Structure 1
């Protein structure tokens, strides 16, 4: 399944949140949308997922325009199966009254139907896929850790058998060690299933692990794009350089952040109309 976004625009009152943004994700590919809060990346993710309507531009999945209204339950379910989304805080997105098994069974019944035995077999398959056991299967969201809840959220999204998974800051709220576990899990799932990812993050270091390509967003626009490894190795835009300089690491020098910020300010000043 291929995704193609062309010329996306979105306003919230006087604010132009997304300014003519275009990108694509090939079948089984993985694209990172990276930027700080307010850059427009989450708005784009919500447009692709169908949770927001663009003011301009188009989103096409396998050539079909997702902006066109569809009628009927079957058509809506078919569209939902194309793209699913995993949010930053699974505690808010999971039903607090349902156990993990009940959460997954609800989605499977909606999209697959099948017998009770077949649905349970599918639940077990998903639990195994995301690394959850019997205890987690019977637990309510409040009885799970943050990492376990995010695994449930990923399993719930996969239950619809989507071809593209949108992950909106899906590891941002987790401890670093748990982040690594979830990123490894996502890499394994992509290898096993061939699913595509649109991975939204403020952290360039995180997208290194799960994306092939990256688009860096600043003030509603894509300011740099390319293969993830190449962009991380030699960022060209001052904003990308600032994002990388801001990541603490061995030998990290805070003065590099100040230098990168000054370069960005100078670049912004040069782009202002005279």
Structure 2
């Protein structure tokens, strides 16, 4: 895997194992990919495929057993000590979770939450912070009413937009979205996906979209990487991969999407036939 000045994120040989009692399983095995400025990579797989473990390693919540993660050519530190190091890590990679309550303080208004992030990252002038908060909220389609509201007063889509604004406040190089639209209604999903497409076009941020939903990946990503039991099955441009899937697991994922004439029994049989495929570890690994 080569790197150049426009490569924001470079992952090489990533591996993560877990122990449960005496048993050990490999959640992610020899995973490599890169994301260029303004690019969007979809990491696709079912529960247990290793995609969420990958997201957690990208933001430092899990430490890989092997491999390396570079952001703008600099290694992502395995351990972070001190305020300066924590702030640098935050500016490298941010995440938006499926549940925005994980990043929004229920006791603080949306505007105050973003103001606090800006202050933490060195914007000391109150008027400048107010202007930047307004700009960030406008960027995600929120206004003054939402700025003064507590998270519980907003809809699910509004909360997710606020979580995106909070993540963007530190101007990260890479934004990881872990099933970030899966809990939203279809119409709201489309709004958030359009928003993300606009943001990466306007800012050059790199997106890593972790999802089980192939329709979402098709809509927002340039490339897709298919994980099965922690290993890469395919990694190609989205249009090519979804139109001409080469691996049986990718074919199964596409066939599993309900449609007219869909046969669940046939899907179940095909899933059982996958069992002999090489796996990165014992079944039941973290997703």
If the TM-score is normalised by the length of the shorter chain, which range does it land in?
over 0.9
Counterpart CA distance in 1 for 2:212 and 2:111 is 32
Q: 2:17 touches 2:25 (CA, 8 Å); kept in 1?
A: yes
Q: Is the 8 A contact 1:9 1:16 kept in 2?
A: yes
Q: Structure 1: where are the runs of 5+ without partners?
A: none
Paired residue for 1:146, among 138, 156, 172? 156
Greater shift in the superposed pair: 154-163 or 71-80: 71-80
Which residue does 1:269 correspond to in 2? 276
Q: Does 1:130 align with 2:140?
A: yes
Aligned position for 2:234: 224
> 50-59 vs 1-10, which deviates more?
1-10
Aligned residues: CA RMSD:
1.7
TM-score (norm 1): 0.93
Task: Indicate whether 1:237 and 2:247 are aligned.
Answer: yes
Distance 1:78 1:67 in 2: 10
Check if 1:254 corresponds to 2:238.
no
Query: 187, 191, 195: which is aligned to 1:185?
Result: 195
Q: Distance in 2 between matches of 1:240 and 1:28?
A: 26
Shifted more, 62-71 versus 197-206: the winner is 62-71
- Large movers: runs of 4+ above 6 Å: none
CA distance in 2, matches of 1:157, 1:175: 22
Partner of 1:6: 12
2:249/2:274 contact within 8 Å kept: no
**Greater helix percent: which structure?**
1
Aligned to 1:201: 211
Q: Tell whether the 8 Å contact from 2:71 to 2:173 is kept in structure 1 after alignment.
A: no
Name the count of aligned residue pairs: 269
For 1:160-184, what per-residue CA distance to the aligned partner results, in whole angstroms no more than 9, with x for missing partners?
0111100000001111111111111
Shift of 1:114: 2.8
Q: Which has the higher contact order (CA 8 A, sep 6+)?
A: 2
